[in-house]
Copies of this chain bind each other. A is one copy, B any other.
Amino acid sequence: MYISTKGRYGTKALFELALHAGEGPQALREIAARQGLSEHYLEQLVGPLRKAGLIQSIRGAQGGYVLGRDASDITVGDILRVLEGPVSPTECALENFDFSHCCANPQVCPDRDVWIKVRKGIEQVVDTITLRDLVEDWQSNVERAPVYYI
Contacts and interface: CB of A to CB of B under 8 A. Distances in A.
A104 B11 contact: no
A45 interface: no
Interface string A70-90: 000000100010001111111
Q: Taking chain A's interface residues, is the majority helix, strand, or loop, or is none over half, making it mixed? A: helix
**Interface size of A as a range:** 35 or more
Interface in A112-145: 113-114, 117-118, 121-122, 124-126, 129, 134-135, 137-138, 141-142, 145
Interface of A: 1-3, 8, 11-12, 15, 35-36, 76, 80, 84-91, 103-105, 107-111, 113-114, 117-118, 121-122, 124-126, 129, 134-135, 137-138, 141-142, 145, 147-150
